[in-house]
């Protein structure tokens, strides 16, 4: 508890981290307010949208603060729903990739030899492949457009960089005196990994998770914009795709700017938080 309090105090003094945290709190507030905003069900009144008085895209007004899309659906309520999808996709995919990467890095670094060689060669192969085109190919091959399939694909492809870092840290930790003492006392490999090595590399895993959230949100937005997302889910990428396919990209800036800026701000916020955590984990990066 004392260690957590000390690290939190360091985080509070970091301007970059606090800026990112305030941005995320704003979007979390948007997620909380989402249910009380106008309905956005895309299958509700398909000929007239949500507002039966509006049959086309309209600019911001008192009734619709950010305007409406081509079916009369409120853009602000879509933005709130898209924030929930962004957090869900980003955190779920990043958590999956970090768990896989941490497990692979721990096993490869601790056991070494043939196990290390096989796992690291697989990691090298995935690192050389371009991530977004690979995700697009897999998503197109599966055919079925589902949000959870996209999360699974991103999680299964995004772990190699984490595995590399965790392996390097594990190689360093397993030579420390306290690990040797655990071996001499008769501790099993499983106990050494779970009780002595894993707790020391979890902060590093959490750091890479913050960066993974950024990549996952951008990947989902890119897939949705290209038409490979789940059309039944209102995400920021899907909002951009609807705007582009209906020819409103340059005619309706009130429609294209909110989701585009939201994607940029949320990914930037997670990046700032990651930078702040990096300075906490690595004391050499802290300002004197």
Does 225 map to a domain?
A: yes
Does 22 map to a domain?
A: no
Does 90 map to a domain?
A: yes
Instruction: Return the beta strands (E) in the chain as ranges.
Output: none
* Domain span holding position 206: 66-285
Regarding pTM above 0.85, the answer is: no
**Tally of domains in the chain:** 1
Does 20 map to a domain?
A: no
The CATH number of residue 250's host domain is 1.10.3720.10
Q: DSSP string covering 166-199, please? A: HHHHHHHHTTSHHHHHHHHTT--HHHIIIIIIHH
For residue 249, what is the DSSP state? Answer: T
Does 277 map to a domain?
A: yes
Does 143 map to a domain?
A: yes
Does 55 map to a domain?
A: no
Tens of each residue's pLDDT in the chain, 288 residues: 555 566 667 777 778 888 888 999 999 988 888 777 666 655 445 455 566 667 678 888 887 888 888 887 888 888 988 898 899 988 999 999 999 999 999 998 888 888 888 998 888 888 888 877 887 787 777 766 677 888 888 888 888 888 888 988 888 888 888 888 888 888 788 888 888 888 888 888 888 888 888 888 988 888 888 887 777 788 898 899 988 888 888 888 889 999 999 999 999 998 888 888 877 776 665 554
CA dihedral 241, 243, 247, 253 (to 10 degrees): -140
Does 220 map to a domain?
A: yes
The predicted structure's pLDDT at residue 56:
77
């Amino acid at each position: 508890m004392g260690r957590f309090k000390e690290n939190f105090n360091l985080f509070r003094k970091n301007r970059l981290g606090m800026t990112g945290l305030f941005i995320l709190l704003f979007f979390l507030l948007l997620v909380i307010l989402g249910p009380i905003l106008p309905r956005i069900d895309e299958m509700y009144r398909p000929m007239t949208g949500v507002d039966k008085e509006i049959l086309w895209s309209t600019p911001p007004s008192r009734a619709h603060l950010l305007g409406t899309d081509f079916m009369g659906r409120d853009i602000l309520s879509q933005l709130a729903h898209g924030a929930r999808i962004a957090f869900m996709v980003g955190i779920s995919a990043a958590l999956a990739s970090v768990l896989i990467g941490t497990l692979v890095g721990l096993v490869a670094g601790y056991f070494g030899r043939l196990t290390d060689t096989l796992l690291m060669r697989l990691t090298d192969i995935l690192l050389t492949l371009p991530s977004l085109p690979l995700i697009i190919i897999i998503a197109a091959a599966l055919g079925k457009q589902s949000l959870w399939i996209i999360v699974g694909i991103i999680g299964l492809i995004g772990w190699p960089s984490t595995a590399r870092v965790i392996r390097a840290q594990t190689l360093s930790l397993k030579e420390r005196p306290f690990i040797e003492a655990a071996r001499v006392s008769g501790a099993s490999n499983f106990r050494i990994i779970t009780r002595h090595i894993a707790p020391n590399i979890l902060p590093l895993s959490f750091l890479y998770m913050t960066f993974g959230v950024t990549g996952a949100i951008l990947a989902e937005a890119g897939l949705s914009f290209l038409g490979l997302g789940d059309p039944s889910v209102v995400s920021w990428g899907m909002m951009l795709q609807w705007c582009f396919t209906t020819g409103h990209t340059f005619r309706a800036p009130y429609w294209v700017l909110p989701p585009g800026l939201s994607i940029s701000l949320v990914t930037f916020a997670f990046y700032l938080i990651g930078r702040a955590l990096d300075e906490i984990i690595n004391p050499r990066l802290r300002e004197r």
